[in-house]
Structure formats: C-alpha cells, structure tokens
Amino acid sequence: MISVLGAGAFGTAVAVSLARNGGSVQLWAHDPAHVEALRQARENVLRLPGVPLPDNVEPIERLDDVPPEAVILLAVPMQTLRHLLQDNAEHFLARTLVACCKGMDLKTHVGPVQTISDCVPTAMPAILTGPSFAADIAHGLPTALTLACRDERVGKALQQSLTTPNLRIYRTTDTIGAELGGALKNVIAIACGVVIGARLGDSARAALMTRGYAEMQRMALRLGAKPETLAGLSGFGDLALTCTSEGSRNFRFGLSLGQGEPFDTDVTVEGAATARAALARARELGIEMPITGAVTALLDGQVDVRQAMDMLLSRPLKDE
Ligand SMILES: NC(=O)C1=CN([C@@H]2O[C@H](COP(=O)(O)OP(=O)(O)OC[C@H]3O[C@@H](n4cnc5c(N)ncnc54)[C@H](OP(=O)(O)O)[C@@H]3O)[C@@H](O)[C@H]2O)C=CC1
Ligand SMILES: O=C(CO)COP(=O)(O)O
C-alpha cells in the first residue's frame, strides 16, 4: 500500500502513475470537500484535469485510515509540511516518510528532509525529487527521478516500490544535496522567467542558469552535500527543466514579473518563499548568493527588474 498525502497536481499524478503499475494507492486531501469531489468525479478537476483516477486509487480524508505498513509520500507544498507533521505527529511516529516537496521552510530555513527529522525524530525521512512535471508523469511520459534516503536498505526498498515502467528512479544517500537542489532551482527558475519576460535575452538566461548552479552548489556543498548529487537529476536536471519550460509555474511566475503582469495567487510558486528562506540561511552561513538576493529584493519590491540586473552586473569582477 502507498499513501500519498496531498492531492494537488503532483500527489495526484504520482498516485495515478503508481496505481497504473498495480497495487493499492490512497490519496489523502486535507479538505473533505476535495475528497468528496475526487470520489464523485474520479478526477482532480482543479489541479490535474483530464486524468482519470484508476479504480485502485482511493481518496481518503482521515489519516487514521492510513495502514501501518503503508509507504507515505508527502506531496504538500513546502510551507505547509511542518504544520502537517506537527499537527498530526501521532500518525507519523517511526514511519518512513518520503517528501515530494521542493523548498525551504520560511521559519526554520531548512528543507523537507530536515523538516521531517525535526518534527518527527523517530521517522525515517526520504525525498523523491528531480525533473518531472505532474502532467508528464500522469500521462505516462518517460521520467527519471532521484530517491534520497540516508538508510541504504530503506532507500533500495523505496526505489523498488516507486519505480514504474515510465518512471525510472535513481538512488542516493545524499539527502542534503537532493533536498537543496530541488529547493534552490526554483529560485533560479523565477530569475530566468524574469529575464525572458523582460526580453533580456537567452544569453542572460544561460548566464543565470550557470551562475545559479554555482550558487546552488555553494550552499549545498557547505552543508555537506556531494557535488555529484548537484550534478544529477535533483540538481542540474531539475534546474534545466524548470528554467527552460513554460510548464514550470516558477518560470511562468518570473515571466509575469518580468512583463509587469499580475500572477494568479492560487498557483503554487515554491521559489518565492524559498528565495527568502535561502537568503536568510545564506546570511547565517556567511555565503554569497547574489541571484537569490536579487530575486528576493525584486519580490519584496525593493528593486525593479533593471535594478535587479544592475545589482548582479555591477558586482566586483572575480574568477569563475
Ligand atoms: N506540480 C508539479 O509538476 C510538481 C510539483 N512538485 C512539488 O510538489 C509539491 C506540491 O505541489 P503541487 O502538487 O504541484 O501543488 P498544487 O498547487 O497542485 O496543490 C497543492 C495541494 O496541497 C494542498 N494543501 C494546501 N495546504 C495544505 C495543508 N495544510 N495540508 C495538506 N494539503 C494542503 C492543496 O489543497 P487546497 O487546494 O485545498 O489548498 C492542494 O491540493 C510542491 O512542493 C512542488 O514543488 C514536485 C514535482 C513536480
Ligand atoms: O518541480 C517541478 C518540475 O520538476 C515543477 O516545477 P514548478 O513547481 O515550477 O511547476
């Protein structure tokens, strides 16, 4: 049994994909009305329209209904993860919990794996992350992800149970690299959206992706990540996807910002809160993250797009 907690686009897509592979999948939503709508329509009309739920996906509204042997996937937005874990800690004690969210908590400045460890110290945390749009997974398109878990035995078991014919899963024990790659690439994707929206050109985007990757590495390596994790699916892979595709909400949010257009506030844009959390963490650690700083200043209305670019271009010249 696999229980996916969080019935947004990603949770629904993963539930559908795993159910098509056989076995039973529960899909939990925090809003009983949403659970009822999933039961009635057999489709997530709001977040993942056009994808029928297979019969073996069971929408549930009570965490009590998650059986003790179930593998739990946490597919909620990053800024809600801590509350979900704290408010329902009795359901998570000594469980294997696989985070599917990408971001850093605004209050604690840590990623999903560390958030699980902090909130439920008896749990075994893992993370499933990498380049994958929910719609691609739901439509059975080929996708490759990283599963990170410090415990090799648990990681190998998760890799087996979450792999499907279309979803290839690589494994690592480097949870720090995996969680930071997925979190920080969203900030760079916003920056890339801004330069494209403001018509500053593809060369500027390539520069931001490259220097953004340097920034991601700087923070992750300082916190103990392995360079090869950053170079893998959860880092470089997801950076490449998110910075170059209008399928990404973070990139589209940046596009709107660059064009001076409003953006739908109901859409999940993980990079906005994460930019602030990452900048705060960078300051605590004394490391330079100029692109993250420029994105944060832009989001906070301290600078406009031109001034944000000037902030980056006028920095002292240095070695690559
Ligand atoms: N979409 C994608 O392509 C991918 C997403 N991810 C990651 O997955 C995570 C979730 O994103 P995604 O599914 O796209 O988001 P969506 O915006 O599609 O959905 C978010 C879901 O979370 C629910 N939710 C909000 N607050 C809570 C809460 N306190 N407790 C439980 N559920 C809550 C929302 O319910 P309600 O509508 O009732 O508020 C909604 O169903 C993010 O971290 C994202 O980065 C990872 C890979 C790909
Ligand atoms: O993480 C994702 C793709 O890997 C989804 O990106 P967005 O959250 O920007 O849509």
Tell me, in angstroms, the distance from the centre of ligand 2 to residue 9's CA: 10
Q: Which helix (DSSP H) or strand (DSSP E) does residue 307 occupy?
A: helix 305-313
| pLDDT value at 318 more than 90 | no
Residue indicated by tokens 């999940």: 268
Measured by CA distance, the residue closest to atom 44 of ligand 1 is: 101
CB 186 within 8 A of CB 276: no
Nearest to 184 by CA among 291, 266, 98: 291
Contacts of 55 (CB under 8 A, 6+ apart): none
User: Does 297 belong to an annotated binding site?
Assistant: no
Q: Is the pLDDT of residue 311 over 90?
A: no
pLDDT confidence of residue 315: 85
* DSSP state letters, 245-269: -TT-HHHHHHHHHHHT----TTS--
139 in a known ligand binding site: no
Within 8 A by CB and 6+ apart from 16, the residues are 48, 51, 53, 54, 57, 137, 138
Alpha carbons within 13 A on the beta-carbon side of 194: 26
Distance 268 CA to ligand 1 centre (A): 7
Alpha carbon distance 320, 315 (integer Å): 13
Per-residue model confidence (pLDDT) at position 244: 98
Residue bearing the CA closest to ligand 1, atom 21: 8
- Strands of the chain (E only): list them: 2-5, 25-28, 43-44, 48-52, 57-60, 71-74, 96-99, 124-129, 143-149, 167-172
Domains and CATH numbers, the chain: 2-176 (3.40.50.720), 184-313 (1.10.1040.10)
Mean pLDDT of 223-242: 98
Contact 269, 253 (CB under 8 A): yes
Q: What is the pLDDT of residue 46?
A: 95
Per-residue pLDDT at 294 exceeds 90? yes
pLDDT digits (tens, 9 = 90+) for 34-88: 999 999 999 999 999 999 999 999 999 999 999 999 999 999 999 999 999 999 9
Q: What is the pLDDT, as a whole number, of residue 319?
A: 85
Across the range 184-199, mean pLDDT stands at 97
**Could you list the active site residues?**
185
Answer yes or no: are the C-beta atoms of 28 and 7 closer than 8 Å: yes
CA neighbor of 180 nearest in space, from 219, 231, 207, 122: 219
Distances (CA, A) of 20 to 63, 155, 167: 23, 22, 12
DSSP 157: H
pLDDT in tens, 89-145: 999 999 999 999 999 999 999 999 999 999 999 999 999 999 999 999 999 999 999
Confidence (pLDDT) at 316: 81
Q: Where does the pLDDT of residue 172 fall: very low under 50, low under 70, confident under 90, or very high at 90 and above? A: very high
The band of 309, judged by pLDDT with boundaries at 50, 70 and 90, is confident
What is the per-residue burial (b if ≥16 Cβ within 10 Å, else e) of 199-214? Answer: ebeeebbebbbebbbe
Helix boundaries (H) for 126-201: 134-138, 152-162, 175-197
**CA separation for the pair 290, 224 (Å, rounded):** 21
Ligand 1 pocket residues where CB is under 6 Å: 6-11, 29-31, 34, 47, 75-78, 80, 83-84, 100-103, 132-134, 268, 270
Handedness of CA 39, 41, 42, 45 (dihedral sign): negative
Tell me the pLDDT band of 257, cut-offs 50, 70 and 90: very high
pLDDT, average across residues 267-275: 98
User: Nearest-CA neighbor of 150 among 130, 122, 124, 179?
Assistant: 124
pTM: predicted TM-score of the whole model, two decimal places: 0.97
pLDDT more than 70, % of the chain = 100
Query: What average pLDDT does this structure show over 197-220?
Result: 96
Q: Quick one: pLDDT band at residue 287, thresholds 50, 70, 90?
A: very high
Geometric angle at alpha carbon 223, from 222 and 226, rounded to 5°: 80
State the pLDDT at residue 129. Answer: 98
Q: Which atom of ligand 2 is nearest to the CA of 10?
A: 5
10 Cβ inside 6 Å of ligand 2: no
